[in-house]
Amino acid sequence: MDTPPRPGDQARVTVTVAVAPAEAFRVFTEDIDRWWRRGPRFRNLRGERGMLCIEPRRDGRVFESLDDGDADAAPAVIEIGRVLAWEPARRLMFTWRASNFGPGESTEVEVLFEPAHPGDENGGTRVTVTHRGFAALRPDHPVRHGQAVAAFIRTMGLWWGDLATAYRVYAEAPSNKDA
């Protein structure tokens, strides 16, 4: 039996997208830079030229990269996490580190891709994102922005809700269904 999460440990959002699970997984992972919102609320590298990537394998990096245009300089890379599970069309799990996390601090994001209508692979996909591990961070951790546990988890749920909406809109765009 699974141990229930500790209070304040997780935020969960679910969105249904009108594409099959394999396509929902592909869009989430391969096109992440196209649907993941930009700006300081959602990105570490705040410029418009930053790129968010997931390396497609277990132990692959989740990272942001910014090429500042200097031909002699390597692009800036910020590793956000590492892929813990890579199960195309079913499940993705990765560690997550905010820019203000210290050494050894991380949380975990699990993304499940399930047929919206069991037995109908083409009837859409229910995508559930669970971001957990916050209870291991100290109550005054900077990532909480001074919020009490309940308010912080609500904020995280709203943050992921914004991203899930952007993902759904992108995944369902007619130009992406023929990709």
DSSP state of 150: H
Q: What superfamily does domain 10-32+84-177 belong to in CATH?
A: START domain (3.30.530.20)
Report pLDDT for 23: 95
For the chain, domain boundaries: 10-32+84-177
Spatial contact of 107 and 142, defined as CB atoms under 8 Å apart: no
Between the alpha carbon of residue 145 and those of residues 15, 48, 107, the distances in Å are 27, 25, 16
If one compares 89 and 123, the residue with the highest pLDDT of the two is 89
CA distances from 11 to 51, 57, 63, 97, 131 (A): 25, 25, 21, 15, 5
- pLDDT the model gives residue 113: 97
Give the C-alpha separation, 68 to 72, whole Å. 10
| Prediction pTM value | 0.86
Q: What tokens appear for 62 in the block?
A: 């989740």
Neighbours of 69 (CB within 10 A): 8
Dihedrals phi, psi of 164, to nearest 5 degrees: -65, -40
Give the model's pLDDT for residue 170: 94
For the residues 168-178, what does the mean pLDDT come to?
Answer: 82
Residue by residue, DSSP assigns 109-169 as EEEEEEEEETTEEEEEEEEEEEEE-GGGS-TT-GGGTT--HHHHHHHHHHHHHHHHHHHHH
- The predicted-structure confidence for 30-88, as pLDDT tens digits, reads as follows 999 899 877 655 655 555 567 889 999 999 999 988 766 566 666 678 888 999 999 99
